[in-house]
Structure 1
Amino acid sequence: MLRRSIFASAVVALFACGSAFGQAIPKEMAWTAYDTGSSGFNIAVAIGQQFKQAYGSDVRILPSGNDTGRLAPVKAGRAIISQMGIGTYFAQEGVFEFGTKSWGPQPARLLMSATACNGLGLAVAKDTGVKQIEQIKGKRVGIVVGSPALTQGALALIAFGGLTQKDVTLVQFSSNNAMWKGFINNEIDVALTSTISGQSKEVDSSPRGILWPPMPADDKAGWARVHKLAPYFVPHKATCGSGGLSPQSPVAMSSYAYPIFMTFADRSADDVYAVVKGMIDTYDGYKDGAPGAHGMALSKQNLEWVVPYHEGAIRAFKEKGAWNDAAQKHNDGLVKRQQVMVEAWKAYAGGAPGDDKAFTDGWMKARAAALTKAGMDAVFE
């Protein structure tokens, strides 16, 4: 226990004291990531191996199966970076598991993320005859209890076809794996997943088969409905994965970056700069080290997404000629959005009700009111 405590203290000291260590990558770092064996974990390991080889830096990957478990060590200073999914956005917004007394809106900052050839969207059983999202009306849509990413995502994507929760039957499962067993066993017809997930490949080889309803980028009305519920989805041309996807047979659908390397706004700009520069400079060494790692290329970074970049990352991007005035203006707007929510939290939390449900319900109303007053979309209402 003492050795672990000493290690944690050393990690915090190395990351916090940018002025003392200049712009060199810390010699020891702890990162959090998805569970061992996940694509995100494997990408983090591949990058860590290159950091060891190129800079002599030891990167320790701490796996966790949920968003709060990944962010808690960063919040407490025991890890310096978290490799997240869309929970990054939920943390910024202070919603779902981050809308509780112990969390609230977090000052999330991006470093880099991966956008690969796969899509992330609605998988539909081929035996349903559905080919367009509007045809999902009346079908059974799988969701997972305690997984707002899957539930919110599915509801947002059916909105592309003008559908709401009332137009489908939501079927709850206890886990993602259970949901996909239900898919194969004809208990549901639709579920949200990646085109390269093992589950989608399993369904593809089953008697039911799989397809991905298109979401053309030029359908502005459809995408406006999606973004009203989930602004983090972006149009994407998927060229790999189940359902016969390939560069020769692509599908215009939805996606968002994964994994997302992030930290908090107050972390040393020098050290974040050094880490991001290291990710860029060692790219050729790790891009083939794990499936999806090639999506970490600098050219694939979405500089105008829904979470702001850390000032240290921006410095690295500017050095490489990748940052521009439009990206800076967009980033400034996102930082302002976070400030509105943080101030709303401070004003609300002090005199909020003690009951957990009443606290969260009250916070969501206070949050929406503050964002609306600032002329910003509340999204979660």
Structure 2
Amino acid sequence: MRITRNTLTAGALGAVLAWAGSAGADDITLPGSIAMTAYGTGSAGYTQMAALGNHLQNNYGTSVRILPGENDVARMTPLRTGRVPLCSCGIASFYGAEGVFMFAGPDWGPQDIRVIGTSIANFGLGLAVAGDIGVETPADLEGKRIAYIRGDDALNVGVEAFLAFGGLTWDDVERVEFPGYGRSFEGIIADQADAAFTMTVAPPAQQLDASPRGITWPRLDPDDTEGWARFQEVAPYFQPHTVTAAAGGHDEDNPWIGSSYPYPILVANRDVDDELVRGLLRVLIEDNEQYKDAAPGLAGWSLDNQNMEWVIPFHDAVVEYYKEIGHWTDAMQEHQDMLVDRHRTIRIAWGQYVSDDPPRDEDAFKEGWMEARAAALEEKGMDPIFR
């Protein structure tokens, strides 16, 4: 899978902003209320959605109801069942589209979801480590107490990738299990664990920084090609990132040399109403200057921060919008078509697998599905990524 980042040239960006300004906010169509799931109330993702909700209420009369979820099951289930049309998710949305990890089980399967927008700003995503244990690089994590969040593959794979960068696995550290993301940071502050995965500007990271233990972020040397190869073999959606907003005093003068991927990732089911998607996307893109300072990371929703060739296909209404404003290329269409074909292939393979009387034992079911999934993708010349 080819993962690149495309941004507008200065001239094209100016043309888009001029188009947006001429359209005017009065022609944006939004419902009276919008419901979505998001990370827990202490998370950066929740904070961003709450701030965006205030903007929608104050400017469009649209109320936003956020259902906080402490793990991927809590966030993705309401989307799957139709209880909410949107999820302000993490990388579990990618796992859902791919039908892996928790989505490889008989109760889930690959999810037919689409991206509305993503945020990539000056923050990063990484392993927050207590500042009193002398960790400077991922290799220094050996023997340390690392948080493992039950039911949250996204956070756990992020930890696994950092360990891999340092040539380590879960077998080289002490795994400490927690029931949720917020609880893991309470555990670090209480000296029950030493590290947990998070966004660098998330409130729990700020709380750890303010605690007696302090905070540090292991440096990911951009010149360590072998370390990065191990890192991206575990989690290919990551990219190197110079982070200028992170707990612990990191700014433009003192950046953290680390990593990132889009967060939050606003997704919807493929069949969600086009008008909802279009209206919300227009607010995200066209109003960014108005709301970007309301919470850390909101600037990452701007048009020039969108990754146009990432790992989950866009909703059809998103593609139409970008075509209208002149921000769509043949290369983007080719990538979109590839992703749509990839995920169609995965869902067809799932349908065939579950119709062939698969094993009832959950572990055997997952093993058989991952083999069938890999075979279907490889038959079409696509990388399974996960096995």
- RMSD of aligned C-alpha atoms? 2.6
Greater mean alpha carbon deviation, residues 344-353 or residues 362-371: 362-371
**TM superposition score normalised by structure 2:** 0.83
- Greater CA deviation, 139-148 or 338-347? 139-148
Tell me the distance in 2 between the aligned counterparts of 1:185 and 1:78: 36
Equivalence for 1:278: 283
Deviations 1:331-373 (A, max 9, x none): 2222222122111101111121233333223222222332333
Instruction: Tell me the residue number matched to 2:53.
Output: 48
Could you tell me which amino acid in structure 2 is paired with residue 116 of structure 1?
A: A
Q: Which one of the candidate residues 82, 89, 110 is aligned to 2:87? A: 82
Q: Deviations over 1:148-196 (max 9, x none)?
A: 1222111112212232333333332333344334434544433322222
Q: Note closer, same or farther for the CA distance 1:161–1:320 as it changes in structure 2 (3 Å cut).
A: farther
Q: Which residue of 2 aligns with 1:358?
A: 364
Question: Which secondary structure state, in structure 2, belongs to the residue aligned with residue 128 of structure 1?
Answer: coil
| Paired letter, 2:336 | N
Question: 2:109 maps to which residue?
Answer: 104
CA distance in 2, matches of 1:68, 1:174: 12
Aligned to 1:252: 257
Displacement after TM superposition at 1:121 (Å): 0.7
Scaled by the length of structure 1, what TM-score is found? Answer: 0.84
Task: Answer yes or no: is the 8 Å Cα contact 1:50–1:282 preserved in 2.
Answer: no
- Call closer, same or farther: CA 1:377–1:164 in 2, change over 3 Å: farther
How many residue pairs align between the two structures? 360
Cα pair 2:43 2:204 within 8 Å, conserved: no
Amino acid at match of 2:116: L
* 1:337 and 2:339 are equivalent in the alignment: no
The runs of 5 or more residues in structure 1 that have no matched partner are 1-21
The 1:247/1:148 distance shift into structure 2, 3 A limit, reads same
| Partner in structure 2 of residue 131 of structure 1 | 136
Cα distance change on mapping 1:370 and 1:204 into 2, 3 Å? same
Amino acid in the other structure paired with 2:136? K
Residue 164 of structure 1: aligned partner: 169
Q: Is the 8 A contact 1:123 1:212 kept in 2?
A: yes
> In the alignment, which of 327, 331, 334 is matched to residue 326 of structure 1?
331
Could you list the runs of 5+ residues in structure 2 that have no partner in the other structure? 1-26
User: 1:263 aligns to what SS in structure 2?
Assistant: strand
What's the secondary structure of 2:132's corresponding residue? Answer: helix
Task: Answer whether contact 2:373 2:384 (CA < 8 A) is retained.
Answer: yes
Q: Is the 8 A contact 1:23 1:271 kept in 2?
A: no
User: Could you say if the C-alpha distance between residues 126 and 99 of structure 1 is closer, same or farther in structure 2, counting changes exceeding 3 Å?
Assistant: same
State the Cα distance separating 1:250 from its structure 2 match.
0.3
State yes or no: 1:369 paired with 2:369. no
